[in-house]
Chain A
Amino acid sequence: MVITKEDVLKVIDKIVEVIRENKEYLTELDSAIGDADHGINMDRGFEAVKQKLATIPENSDIGTILKTVGMTLVSTVGGASGPLYGTAFMRAGQAVQGKTELTEEDVVKIFEAALQGIKDRGKAQAGDKTMIDSIEPAYKALKESLENNIALPEALKRAVNAAKEGMEYTKNISARKGRASYLGERSIGHIDPGATSSYLMIKALADVINLL
């Protein structure tokens, strides 16, 4: 399966839409254990992404598009998710620099680079109640499915399920990173907003690819 530049732009549009739809929900999750700005911040950031992408040259490759998304996020989100998701998208862009089409392998590379970017930036690991709790299981599920010759749309569905499980798991653990870590064990019982926005983005990707 080949993913075109137009498909990538569709995925980004879908992310913008899903973040917009879940703006209040993400902020509500963040008001329980953080500073109540995750939904607003993410929505501002992705709205800026949408506007920025409307102005980039027609012949931009996928690497440039993803890097532009990252640069826009680090500048406009405001909270910690700005440098985290911004770095994720910039690293993903570097991983597919110059490409105008993506293979299954490239999609894995994008996940790998994004996950590593978030780890490098946030110094968090699985189990710290962060975005990583959604993204890492999704990455592993995707990679394993593709290695077992499962087609990309189905592999992405499995990745979404793994991300969802990971996100729900954050409800049972206490936060070790970010503002929520000040609450320690009192953060147990609440789903992590970052893990939720990560899940929503992975789901947006899978939903678009499944419709192709």
Chain B
Amino acid sequence: MVGIVLVSHSRKIVEGVFELVNQMTRGKVPIGIAGGTPDGRLGTDAAEIVEQVKKVDRGEGVVVLVDIGSAVMSAQTAVELLGEEYEGKVKIADAPLVEGAVAAAVEASIGSDFEKVLTVAEEAKKMNKL
């Protein structure tokens, strides 16, 4: 199954999104979260993102969902740090965090492959709300 990692400056944001998504997929999808700094401030930690990617990797790829600011750059740094071993197997979705995470996790839960999960996550940004 494709794994998912949620990244935000705020620990509470990723905990909340995790709760929401996990309920919808009934715990079937491996989901990691990285939010806040090791000492509990708002912020992102690229090394923690690396750890979470490794944790949820089941050999079928990992989609990373990010919110704003340093979440994007820290996720990119993490991808760089993961190196060749993970090349093409871990990608950041160009998608909103909450909507993208829901879409990606539901797609992953029905056993779709990496590219499909990524595409569905990215389509979430086109979702009309009204």
Interface residues of A (CB under 8 A from B): 37, 40-41, 44, 71, 74-84, 86-87, 121-122, 178-179
Does B43 belong to the interface (CB within 8 Å)? yes
- Whether the pair A84, B38 counts as a contact (CB closer than 8 A) is no
Cβ–Cβ < 8 Å partners of B107 in chain A:
none
Cβ–Cβ < 8 Å partners of A87 in chain B:
77, 80
Interchain Cβ contacts under 8 Å between A and B, 19 examples: A37-B42, A37-B43, A41-B43, A74-B81, A76-B38, A77-B43, A78-B9, A78-B36, A78-B41, A78-B43, A78-B45, A79-B70, A82-B43, A82-B46, A82-B74, A83-B73, A83-B74, A83-B76, A121-B77
Does B27 belong to the interface (CB within 8 Å)? no
Does B59 belong to the interface (CB within 8 Å)? no
Given A79-B70, A80-B69, A83-B73: A74 touches B47 (CB 8 Å cut-off): yes
* Total residues of chain B contacting the partner, CB 8 A: 21
Given A178-B69, A179-B69: A79 touches B43 (CB 8 Å cut-off): yes
Interface of A is mostly: helix
Contact of A82 among B36, B39, B44, B81 (CB under 8 A): B44
Roughly how many angstroms separate A185 CA and B47 CA in the complex, as a whole number? 35
Interface residues of B (CB under 8 A from A): 9, 36-39, 41-48, 69-70, 73-74, 76-77, 80-81
Contact of B42 among A74, A78, A84, A86 (CB under 8 A): A78
Known: A44-B41, A78-B37, A81-B70. 8 other contacts (CB 8 A): A37-B41, A37-B42, A44-B37, A74-B47, A75-B46, A80-B69, A82-B45, A121-B77
